[in-house]
Each structure stands twice: as C-alpha cells, then as structure tokens.
Structure 1
Amino acid sequence: MRRTVLVAHPSADLYGSDLQLVESVGGLTAAGWEVVVALPGDGPLRARLEAAGAAVELLPVPVLRKSLLRPAGLLGLVVDTSRALPVMVRRLRSLDPAVVYVNTVTVPLWLVAARLAGRPALCHVHEAEDDAPRLVGVLLNAPLLLARTVVVNSNAAAATLLRAVPALRRRTEVVHNGVAGPPEPLPPVTAPTGPRRVVLVGRLAPRKGTDVALEAAGLLRAEGRDVVLQLCGTVFPGYEWFEEQLRERAARPDLAGAVEFAGYTSPTWPALAQADVVLVPSRAEPFGNTAVEAQLAGRPVVVSAVQGLREIVTDGETGLLVTPGDPADLARAVGSLLDDAGLARSLAAAGRESALRRFSRQRYQDAVTAVVERTAR
C-alpha cells in the first residue's frame, strides 16, 4: 500500500533549499511514497517537483521573513495565521499523510497544523542563524519541539540549533546535502587567453558576501590582474537596495566593465565551465550547495571559513578557506590560484573526488527516505 507524505515548503524558487527539496522528493517517490508538496505560491520549482513525481498544491500560508519583525508585519502574521491554520488542518485530515515533512523553519505553522491534525511531523532545517540574538534563536526554533524528528544539513547547523533549544538533541540528526553534478564532466580549465573569470553563484545578499567579492575583485585589478567577476543570482524581494549598492560599486572606475550581473542562472554549469575560480564568500552558510557544485564542476573553490562550508572544504586540500568579510584575504587566495595553475588543478581534482564521495544524490536520498520511514513508524 502506497503511503503519503505531505511536504511543506516556503517558496517556488530554484535556489539551494528549493533544489534540495527536489532531491528529497525524488528519493521518496523512488522508494514508493506518494508525495504531495504544498507551496505558498506558484513558480519555477513546481515543474521540477512534478517532474520528480510529486503532486503540487498551492496553499497560501504565512512564511517567516525579517519584514514580519515590524509591528505591521506582526499584525499581518496574526491575521494570516488565523485564516490559514483551519484550512491547513482540514487539508491534512482529508489527505491523511503518514508524515508531514516541513522543509525549513520558515513555515512553522505546518508543525502546528500537523499537531492539531494528529499527524507526525519532520522538520528539515536548512538555516543556522548563529549570529542572531539568543532570544530570536529560541523563538525561531522552539516550534521544532512539535516535530517528532529534526534533520539538519550540517554539524554547524546542529550546533546552532541545539544552543538555542537543547531539548531537541535526541530527535536531531545530521544529513549532509546531496548535490547533482553536471550531465557530463566539464572540460578542464585551459591556459588563459583573455580575462581571468571569477564566478559567484547565489543570491545577491549581504549574508552571501556579494559585496566582499566586489571589493576583492577591485583589489585584484589594482594589482594589475585582468579579472572579470560574474555574479549569477538575484535578490530577495525587499533587498533591491542591496543590488543598487552593488551596481553602484561596480560602476566605479576600478571595476567599470569588470562585473557581470548575469541574473538568475540555471543550470549553472555553463557559467562554472568558464570559471578560473569559484567563490563562496558567505558570512553565514549552513551548508553551501554552490561550493559542492563548483567542486563537481572540477573548478578550484575559495570559500569563507564559516559553518557548513568548513565541512565541505579542507583548506589547502579540496579548496581554500578565507576569513569571512575580508576582501583582502579573499583577493589573496584568488590571486594564489591564478598564479599557480598546478595548485588550482590539484585542488579542483581533490575537490571533485571529495564531492562525489561525500555528497552524492543517492546517499542523500537514501538517508532522507530512512528518516521519513522512522518518523512514520
């Protein structure tokens, strides 16, 4: 008899946690589960989920955003919650899933609905807000006490979670993300015949360190290096001001014409194929799929020494670690790879081998399916 799992997710975009959900769904459907995914709105993720075998329903529910911390936002959250919760509970009772799988802590109302409907819940945590005030961390993670099982995507995320709510220790386990590689191996980096390309894939956001990458590119060009920085990503709604700042900085004389705003890029493999170096200069990163993608692409990667990125990259072996928020350190690391082709090749080869071994899709899908099975039992 086929069993059903309802998966709740906060967006229909195609970034890290969104794409990771596709892997989770693919593993569950392959294991015989009937998967229904509830999204708060439509978007490009829907087609990916349906291709993975899920049925998709649009159920508008409140999603936690920083804008809700303002008085007007809190009032709207209360109103939206009062409207959505009865609908969610009714849907759970009619669907009768064996498990409610809540993907990220930003849709905690599904945990409440699961409890009211008498269904076991699993929450897959993709966040690690270790720089947030302690009270914020407690409030953000306390709803996880309603979940029977909590999955986190790195040891760093687990540590952050358990500092906030120690009572979650016995129900929490770590499952590192699984990341798909290119359809076929990308060609190796060839000898440079023009500008050296440095690529950053990810949201344009302060926490992603996009501004740090621009300053590092400026320092590299000040040293006389012909470097072009390509930014593959867009901003969250409400962060348009940050993109304006980035574009203003990119227009200054030291970077004029040397920064490409490529917008949302999918698939990322053509951009990575052209990269001499890939950057992940995040100020916070619970895991870091883009670092693994760079490794799978066979490109040397420079990442911030923070959270989950430290679990992906071993400094000097599978990539280079740099001080978060430090453009000079980032520029130094990139320069060392541009100057030493042998080092760049060895890091790229070792990084690819590590990513294939440690972060395969099959390993991830098997682990997630096993957690869902245990939660159902």
Structure 2
Amino acid sequence: MTADTRRPHLLVHAGWELFGSDRMLLESARGLREAGERVVVALPAAGPLVGELQAAGVEVLIPPTFALRKSALRPRNWLRSLRDAIRGFVAAVMITRRLRPRTLYVSTIVLPLWPLVGRLLRVPTVTHVHEAEASAARIINTVLYAPHLAAHRIIVNSEFTMRTVGSVIPALGRRATLIPNGVDSPDSVPEPRAVIDRLRIAYVGRISHRKGPDVAVEAVALLGDTGIEAELDLIGAVFEGNEAYDETLRRRTDELGVAHLVQHHGFRSDVWPALGAADVLVVPSRQDESFGNTAVEGVLAGRPVVASEIPGLREAVGAYGSAAFVAPGDASALADALARVVADWSALRVTALADRDRAKERFAPEVYRATIAAFLSDLARGR
C-alpha cells in the first residue's frame, strides 16, 4: 500500500492476464487515476495485469477470491467451492472495512460475493457485466446474474449484453447503463500489403473450443485444397485445466497436413506486431460474445476481419465494410470468406485503412476512461 490515505475506489476482478475483460479493468483503473483518484485493485493471482496496473499508479492486492465458474456448480466441487466462498467472503469483508472505499467496482459477474459485501457495508457498488450468453440455460444465467441484484448499478458493454441481462432478470436490465468498451491501438500501423502471395491469417484470443481456433485451422486446409496458399498464426493460450484442447488442436493440425502452415505463438501482451504482419484477422467464435474486443483490434490494425455471425461481434464491427461474417463453427464458410478477401484484396485493403480511422474515434480509450471515472464519481456522490 502507498502513503496515500484517501478513501480509494476499490476495483475487484477475477483475472490476472491481459485478455478482453482484463484490459477493460485496466482501462477503468487508468481512467480513475487520470481523474486524480486513489485506486486499489484486488485480483485472485499475480500475472501480467499486475505490472500494468502498478505502472498506472494503482495499488494491487491479491486476497483469497471466490469465483463462481461453471465448474463450481458441479456436485463433486461443492465442498471445495464452499470453502473458497467462506475464505473469499471473509477476505472481502476485511479489505472493505479496512479501506472504506468510496465505491466498489466489481469487474465481472463471476464474483458473486463482492456485491453482497458492498451492500452489507453500505458501499456504493457497481457490477460491470462483460459476459452475456443468450444461448446458455436460463438457470445458469440466473445463478450467475442474481447475486448482482445487490449492486446499486450495472454497467454493460453492449446492447446485446443489456438485452441478455434484462431478459434473465428484468430488474438488472432496468438499472443498467451502456458504456461501450474502449480499445487502445498504436498511433500508426503498417499498411496492408499491396499484393498477397500466401495469405497471412491471424487468430488472437483464448485457445479454446468456444473461441474456435480449430475452425481456422480447418479453413486453412480447405483453402489449400482450392489452390489458395495460406498460413495461420495463433496468438493466445489455454486457460488452466484446458490443456487437453490444445493437444487436440495440435493433433488435428497434423492430421490435416497443415502443421507447417500453423504457428502457435502462445500468449502475447502486445498483439499489434502480429496484427501488423497479418493480412486478415479471424474471430471464429462458436458461442455468444458480449463484445468483440479482438474484432475491434483487427479493424484498428487496418486489417479486414472475418468473424462469426454473433450479435456481439456484429454490434462491434458490423458497421465497417472491411468486416465479413460467417456462420459460427462453419470452416467451409470461413474458407470461402477468406477466399473472397484474396479476390477483393485491392479494394479491401483501402477500405480497411479507412475503417481504422473511423474506429479510432468510436472506440477511443480516453473516452471510455473518462466515462467510467465520471460514472464512479457520480456513484460515490449518491447520484
């Protein structure tokens, strides 16, 4: 802790990496710091996010934390989940009593205890909802969203998220405020290549079945069958406990005979060099996305984007002519869309650069940071 004794804004988050919601937590903290506020962030573990927060002048705590993930709902995990919930609740109460925060910002719905602690200790509390799966079982969504009825306000990152939350628990929808994500990007990016020899495809995100990198691998093989040479860079890593998927993905790559065309780069905190080296970004998610941060990064990189036809992705980049959409999980449709990128390249590369200029204004991170800071300031004043 620092020598700053002012009452801080307390931000709590379930991650410690630098994926989508992690980055938005970081931008929220930066916004408060730019407004001159003291900020304390509680994370469940140390990771790349810690250094970024500390560089912004944020104090970081790593207390015991209970996260309500789907695995916690399985009967065989109930005892362990109960133990973690008790430890997490005690830690949350102790931290909140010691800091006496001006506001409590819960940066994910999988932290169900913090809104309850905020309400019990009379701290103005907001939950920022980044997760929305309209296709999930209603009972699952109800379990995930219900604890956040204890929050005084809700922030959602898209219209799709607002509709999903409101359809599950209307009371939450009525107290929700839409604040679109801010997405940072370099001041300048390399122009797309004038001529494509071998199509360079980039995938950025979690290496998981839900995110669909295997669909991209299948598409590379299908492109080869039609005579279009393509290579795929996978930038991302599996989450702990999902290593079997990565093994399956590598095995399938070998079976298709495209192992020499698919590079596994692992997690990178800075994705812009990889996007700058690519011709096109694919976002082949199989399930709902509340907001397409990665798709937006592709547009901000001045690159065409081929994404799944999913409401959150459509809402994020559907306004841009360099973005195309295909059926989720359909490798043939993805390959066809990538073939059209090659065929239309001369015009598409020009459109992609024009789209970047529009997207920089729409997703300006400084606007997001100022909006979040003003929102929390108003919440602290009881507005």
Corresponding position: 1:241 with 2:239: no
The verdict on how the C-alpha distance between 1:193 and 1:321 changes in structure 2, with shifts beyond 3 A counting, is closer
Superposed, 1:52-201 pairs within 5 Å as 52-182=56-186, 184-192=187-195, 194-201=197-204
Q: In the comparison of the two structures, how many residue pairs are matched?
A: 376
On the 8 A contact 1:99/1:372 being kept in 2, the answer is yes
User: SS of the counterpart of 1:127?
Assistant: coil
On the 8 A contact 1:62/1:81 being kept in 2, the answer is yes
Deviation at 1:342, TM superposition (A): 2.3
The verdict on how the C-alpha distance between 1:253 and 1:215 changes in structure 2, with shifts beyond 3 A counting, is closer
State the alpha-carbon separation in 2 of the partners of residues 154 and 21 from structure 1: 16
Deviation at 1:315, TM superposition (A): 6.4
Equivalent residue letter for 1:101: Y
When normalised by structure 2's length, the TM-score is 0.94
On the 8 A contact 2:303/2:352 being kept in 1, the answer is yes
State the partner residue of 1:263. Answer: 266
Deviation at 1:34, TM superposition (A): 0.7
State the alpha-carbon separation in 2 of the partners of residues 316 and 167 from structure 1: 34
State the alpha-carbon separation in 1 of the partners of residues 87 and 268 from structure 2: 36
Equivalent residue letter for 2:302: G
Equivalent residue letter for 2:143: L
Output the aligned Cα RMSD: 1.6
On the 8 A contact 2:68/2:144 being kept in 1, the answer is no
Deviation at 1:172, TM superposition (A): 0.2
User: SS of the counterpart of 1:151?
Assistant: strand
Deviation at 1:192, TM superposition (A): 4.2
Equivalent residue letter for 1:91: I
User: SS of the counterpart of 2:255?
Assistant: coil
Corresponding position: 1:372 with 2:376: yes
State the alpha-carbon separation in 1 of the partners of residues 49 and 320 from structure 2: 36
State the alpha-carbon separation in 1 of the partners of residues 144 and 29 from structure 2: 25
State the alpha-carbon separation in 2 of the partners of residues 32 and 79 from structure 1: 38
Superposed, 1:332-347 pairs within 5 Å as 332-347=336-351
Deviation at 1:189, TM superposition (A): 1.7
On the 8 A contact 1:221/1:254 being kept in 2, the answer is no
When normalised by structure 1's length, the TM-score is 0.96
Deviation at 1:193, TM superposition (A): 6.5
1:164-211 Cα distance to aligned partner (Å, 9 max, x none): 1011122101111101102x3122122347522100000011221112
Deviation at 1:2, TM superposition (A): 5.1
Q: Which runs of 5+ in 1 are unaligned?
A: none
State the partner residue of 1:276. Answer: 279
Deviation at 1:332, TM superposition (A): 1.1
State the alpha-carbon separation in 2 of the partners of residues 248 and 205 from structure 1: 14
Equivalent residue letter for 2:252: R
Task: Tell me which of 15, 29, 36 is aligned to 1:11.
Answer: 15
Deviation at 1:365, TM superposition (A): 0.9
Deviation at 1:53, TM superposition (A): 1.7
State the partner residue of 2:224. Answer: 221
User: SS of the counterpart of 1:208?
Assistant: coil
State the alpha-carbon separation in 2 of the partners of residues 367 and 118 from structure 1: 24
State the alpha-carbon separation in 1 of the partners of residues 228 and 322 from structure 2: 24
Corresponding position: 1:211 with 2:229: no
Divergent runs of 4+, >4 A: none
User: SS of the counterpart of 1:270?
Assistant: helix
On the 8 A contact 1:313/1:321 being kept in 2, the answer is no
1:26-60 Cα distance to aligned partner (Å, 9 max, x none): 11111121100001111111000111121001111
